[in-house]
A = this chain, B = another copy of it.
Amino acid sequence: MKKFIHDFEVTHNHHITDDYFAIYLKCPVSLPQILPGQFAEVLVSNSTTTYLRRPFSIYDVDYKRNELSLLIKKVGDGTVALSKLKEGDTLNLIYPLGNSFSLPGGKKALLIGGGVGIAPMLLLSKLLHEKGYKPDILVGGRTSNDIVEPEKYKPFGEVFITTDDGSAGEKGMVTQHSLFSGKVKEYSAIYACGPDPMMKAVARVAAEHNIPCEISLENTMACGIGACLCCVVETIDGNKTTCIEGPVFDTRKLKL
């Protein structure tokens, strides 16, 4: 897929909670097609301490308005600087980057997002819904504050929630959700994105139930376009770049 570099205009910077915000960006030309799981490399030009671009999954796309959005968690100087952008500011993006999720073998699929890892699941649930699949979306977080905009997924599938402290949904980790003791066998695919330990747990559970599982990795990146080889992940076929050959990988191929 052809990659682009464009100056987007910030149309809205939506502060969802203290920690999470969604930034809506207007493309100066027609948006190219963007696949679920793809990401953008964002130039942070309003932070004195951020040098490299920062990768973020593409959260939502509105082809009619020529807009895309990013869902971001404040974790360091770069993301905090992005949270300060205002309507009318400019943001330079390299996009769309990386591969995408593959379609499930059967009707039902489980989409799991941990914290801000939920971001790529919005486009995926939309696509699956459009194509006639039945996605269930399981959102996990440490507390209810980490369950971000769960209502966005409602139109496309059923939404389930877990939190470590039980402040929203079921208490426990995503893999302890009752879905896994119940209808898990109905899923013909599991898709997940989130913190490392969660990804490992999901991969293990998927393997136990023999369900194909794809996860989206968040390896640190320098270029995002396959030029530096910094973002590699070990697979059974050797080192693969997360930015070009990923970020979505079949868990059976990974050395987790």
Contacts and interface: CB of A to CB of B under 8 A. Distances in A.
A33 interface: no
Contacts of A51: 48
A46 B45 CA distance: 8
Contact of A50 (B47, B48, B50): B48
User: How many protomers of this protein does the assembly include?
Assistant: 2
How big is chain A's contact interface, by range? under 10
Most chain B CB neighbours (cut-off 10 Å) among A44, A47, A50, A51: A47
Listed residue (A44, A47, A48, A50) with the most chain B CB atoms within 10 angstroms of its CB: A48
Interface of A is mostly: loop
A110 to B, nearest CB: 42
Nearest to A86: B86
Contacts of A46: 46, 48
A51 B48 CA distance: 8
A79 to B, nearest CB: 15
A171 to B, nearest CB: 42
Contacts of A44: 48
Interface of A: 44-48, 50-51
8 contacts: A44-B48, A45-B48, A46-B46, A46-B48, A47-B48, A48-B48, A48-B50, A48-B51
